[in-house]
Amino acid sequence: MNVAATEVVQLGQADYAPTLAAMRAFSEARTPETPDQIWLCQHPPVYTQGLSGKAEHVLDARGIAVVQTNRGGQVTYHGPGQVVAYPLIDLKRLNIYVKEYVYRVEQAVIKTLAHFGITGHRVTGAPGIYVRLDDPFGHAALDANRLHLFEGLGKIAALGIKVTRHCTYHGVALNVAMDLQPFYGINPCGHAGLQTVDLSTIGVQVACDEVAEVLGSKLVSYLSL
């Protein structure tokens, strides 16, 4: 079976609810012959609550809508200046399982950060990508004894996925140059006191479009046959 190459779709500024509806419709209608796609966009301000989310992790929504979703994980924030990537991938075609898929998405983010000179880190049991606040450009390994406290770390990318009939939707959000104040209105991803950062905060001034192009390319590389 010949299937067309993965297509990267640039949505630009896109409201969250209709984008979610379109992802669900695409995933439910696709067949084994449907080419994979990666959607890239930015959302107007919105909090999204995952299936594991608890209401008490929304501390002060400050008038920003809180949308219940069917992805994994807990509450996060989307807003302008953040690149959101939605890989619509047939895992059966790739012959991988969810754990490997998450690893590959995170690896694509790590490689995107490396493109801009930043070292991204994983934290066991806390999906997403983190940077060392004292030295985001250094390559030193994290101190495993401090990770449960997220001491010295800032979260730069959040991940939440949904898999239906072996096909993925939802995805990953990478903070580029955004208003970080809304993150103080929540416990990000359910972790009280977890600091959230963006590329701008740690000294990398780059346009969202450039980051989106690099992230899209890395995702295609890691999520294609």
Contacts of 125 (CB under 8 A, 6+ apart): none
DSSP conformational letter for 85? E
Q: Catalytic: 208?
A: no
CA gap 177, 217 in Å, rounded: 20
Q: How wide is the angle at C-alpha 53 spanned by C-alphas 113 and 144, nearest 5°? A: 45
The edge-to-edge listing of strands for the beta sheet with 66-68 is 66-68, 46-49, 76-78
Catalytic residue among 41, 167, 189, 208: 189
The pairing of strands 153-164 and 195-196 is parallel
Q: Which residues are known catalytic residues?
A: 189
